[in-house]
């Protein structure tokens, strides 16, 4: 795993970097600067959402970077209030306009909203078939939501972005997705900093001469899980990308799996909506 652009092949053949930058909770100028730094550092996947209100700044940074659009992987998501068939089609146009790009690489249903999610998925399928999105997926879809979606879907989601960390190790979901070639992507992978001083994690950091964040990110990559840590700090952006020069042993991977405490930062999708 030496390649700085470790890629995964989605079920439709589209190549996606496994490690990317999340831009939630970054305000306008902060987001633009962070994305510029990230692209200079080597990141090629940027994860935004209509809800984050920074799509325009992400698009600005992409253009300013001068990097070939084909070498970048830009994700955005349909907002909860925009779900439903017609509303999603419109919301996609608005996102694309704000990003000021010709296409997005990955468009996600942000949350499995009860009465509208089925229609939202139909809209994503249409946009995908029209060639306006390279890949489509979902976020916060635990197994029951994926099971329901497959009843009527003509496309199986290529990506499922969920909260996932050593402290929320969703092994059943990971296996379920692997069996169906749905790429799992970890959000809030760093537990928003809340477990950085866990002695178990610190012992791993000391052993591998890496930081706690690097251990967590490397663990996800070795599981084959894409991961999108957020940072708007240049040093931490670099730190989070510097995870390709070491390998966690099988035994230590199992040890890190055992950190699980079902800790959620974001609401449980089974309980909300």
Could you tell me which residues are annotated as the binding site?
A: 110
189 sits near ligand NAP (criterion: CB under 6 A): yes
Residue 128 or 141: which CB sits closer to ligand NAP? 141
CA dihedral for 133, 172, 225, 33, sign (positive or negative): positive
161 sits near ligand NAP (criterion: CB under 6 A): yes
Which residues ranging from 140 to 159 are in contact with ligand NAP (CB under 6 A)?
Answer: 140
Helix (H, G, I), strand (E, B), or coil: what is residue 75? strand
Residue 129 or 144: which CB sits closer to ligand NAP? 144
Question: Stretches 98-106, 114-122, 167-175, 191-199: which one binds ligand NAP (CB under 6 A)?
Answer: 191-199
Beta strands in the chain (DSSP E): 7-9, 15-17, 21-22, 45-47, 73-78, 104-109, 133-139, 159-163, 183-187, 226-227
Count residues binding ligand NAP (CB under 6 A): 27
User: Binding pattern to ligand NAP, positions 220-249, x when CB under 6 A?
Assistant: --------xxxxxx--x--xx---------
Which residues ranging from 193 to 212 are in contact with ligand NAP (CB under 6 A)?
Answer: 193, 196
Judge contact between 42 and 243, C-beta under 8 A.
no
Residues whose CB is less than 8 angstroms from the CB of residue 147 and which lie 6 or more positions away in sequence, other chains included: none
Which residues ranging from 43 to 102 are in contact with ligand NAP (CB under 6 A)?
Answer: 47
Judge contact between 38 and 67, C-beta under 8 A.
no
Q: Which of 43, 52, 141, 169 is catalytic?
A: 52
Judge contact between 255 and 204, C-beta under 8 A.
yes
Task: Report CA-CA distances (Å) from 174 to 76, 177, 222, 265.
Answer: 22, 5, 13, 19
End-to-end CA separation in angstroms for the chain: 39
Binding residues for substrate: 110
190 sits near ligand NAP (criterion: CB under 6 A): yes
Out of 8, 24, 85, 263, name the contact with ligand NAP by CB under 6 A: 24
Residue 126 or 236: which CB sits closer to ligand NAP? 236
Token match 């999603």: residue?
88
- List residues near ligand NAP by CB under 6 A: 22-24, 47, 110, 139-140, 161, 187-193, 196, 213, 228-233, 236, 239-240, 266
Which of the residues are catalytic?
Answer: 52
């Amino acid at each position: 795993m030496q390649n700085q652009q470790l890629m995964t092949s989605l079920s439709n053949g589209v190549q996606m970097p496994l490690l990317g930058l999340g831009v939630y909770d970054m305000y306008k100028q902060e987001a633009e600067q962070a994305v510029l730094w990230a692209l200079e550092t080597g990141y090629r996947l940027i994860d935004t959402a209509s809800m984050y209100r920074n799509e325009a700044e992400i698009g600005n940074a992409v253009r300013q970077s001068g990097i070939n659009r084909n070498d970048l992987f830009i994700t955005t998501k349909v907002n909860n209030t925009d779900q439903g068939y017609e509303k999603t089609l419109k919301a996609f146009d608005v996102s694309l306009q704000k990003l000021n790009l010709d296409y997005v690489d990955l468009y996600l249903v942000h949350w499995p909203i009860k009465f509208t999610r089925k229609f939202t998925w139909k809209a994503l399928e249409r946009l995908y078939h029209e060639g306006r999105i390279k890949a489509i997926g979902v976020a916060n879809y635990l197994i029951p939501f994926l099971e329901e979606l497959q009843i009527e879907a003509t496309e199986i989601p290529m990506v499922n972005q969920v909260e996932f960390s050593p402290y929320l190790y969703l092994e059943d979901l990971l296996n379920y997705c692997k069996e169906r070639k749905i790429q799992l992507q970890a959000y809030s992978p760093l537990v928003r900093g809340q477990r950085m001083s866990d002695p178990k994690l610190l012992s791993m950091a000391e052993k591998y001469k890496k930081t706690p964040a690097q251990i967590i990110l490397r663990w996800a990559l070795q599981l084959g899980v894409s991961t999108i840590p957020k940072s708007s700090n240049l040093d931490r952006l670099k730190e989070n990308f510097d995870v390709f020069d070491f390998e966690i042993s099988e035994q230590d991977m199992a040890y890190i799996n055992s950190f699980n405490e079902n800790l959620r930062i974001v609401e449980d999708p089974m309980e909300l909506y």
